[in-house]
Structure 1
């Protein structure tokens, strides 16, 4: 029997994840069964279970996709050379959010991941680790802003970074659940909040 290529295996795995994502977006985690995913993928039971032994494994894999795409962006923002002004950095993050809050957006899955993590200890540990990493990116962003003089020298990067990160899920929750505000309006609010710290430059 010819050996199946790594590319084929990766493509088949992605086919299953894409099917699961469509099911979860359409019906939610709890109303989706493994059989639903199998039917959506158009594969045999054995083919799907070869890659994922349970719905929880599917959820975790999709959560990794959601989180890794955001993590890559936050790393780019944090390490940008020269350092981005805080408002510009937040604008880039919010632009990413706008691109991922539509009917098929990955951030709609993120909300379901949060809810599922409240009942699944393994997923809760995963979410805690990843979101702590997100927060640390924003702490680093605040440290660079302090070092460049944008923030006062006595500013607390831990406090500032934590607050800045909190503005990101706050924005996409409003976008998804409350149909607004638009990015320009939200960014104007962010700019006003930063000015109140005060922010120099």
Structure 2
């Protein structure tokens, strides 16, 4: 029997994840069964279970895919040379959010992942580690902003980074749940708060 290529295996895995994503976006994690995913993928039961033995495995893989793009964007922002001003950094982070919050956007699944993490200890551990990693990028951004003189010399990068990162999920939660504010309004509000606090 000929060996199946790595490309074929990766394509089949992607086919299953795409089907699961459509099901989860349409019906949610709890209302989607493995049979739903199998039917959506158009594959046999054995083919799907070969890659994902359980729905929890699918949810974890979806969570990883949700996170991958954000990790890349945040790492690039933290490594920008020269460092970007904080307002521009936040604008670019939120531009990524805008691209991912439409009807098929992966960030719609992030909210479901957060919910599922409240009852699944393994997923909770994964989410906690991932978000701690995200926050580290924003701490690095804050440290570079302080060193460049954009923040006071005594500013705590850990505190500023945590607050700056918190603005990102705060924005996309509002966008997904209420459809507003738009990015320009949100950024204007952040600037007004910072000016007033300063």
Fold shared, TM-score > 0.5 on shorter chain: yes
Structure 1 residue aligned with 2:6: 6
CA distance in 1, matches of 2:23, 2:148: 47
Structure 2 residue aligned with 1:104: 104
Structure 2 residue aligned with 1:37: 37
Shift of 1:68: 1.2
Structure 2 residue aligned with 1:125: 125
Structure 1 residue aligned with 2:148: 148
What is the TM-score with the length of structure 2 in the denominator?
A: 0.98
Shift of 1:197: 5.0
Q: Secondary structure at the match of 1:89?
A: helix
CA distance in 1, matches of 2:34, 2:149: 53
Structure 1 residue aligned with 2:77: 77
Structure 2 residue aligned with 1:24: 24
Instruction: Tell me which stretches of 4 or more aligned residues in structure 1 moved more than 6 Å.
Output: none
Q: Secondary structure at the match of 1:101?
A: coil
Structure 2 residue aligned with 1:183: 183
What is the TM-score with the length of structure 1 in the denominator?
A: 0.97
Count the aligned residue pairs.
Answer: 198
CA distance in 2, matches of 1:195, 1:131: 28
Structure 2 residue aligned with 1:48: 48
Structure 2 residue aligned with 1:169: 169
CA distance in 2, matches of 1:197, 1:78: 24
Unmatched runs of 5 consecutive residues or more in structure 2: none
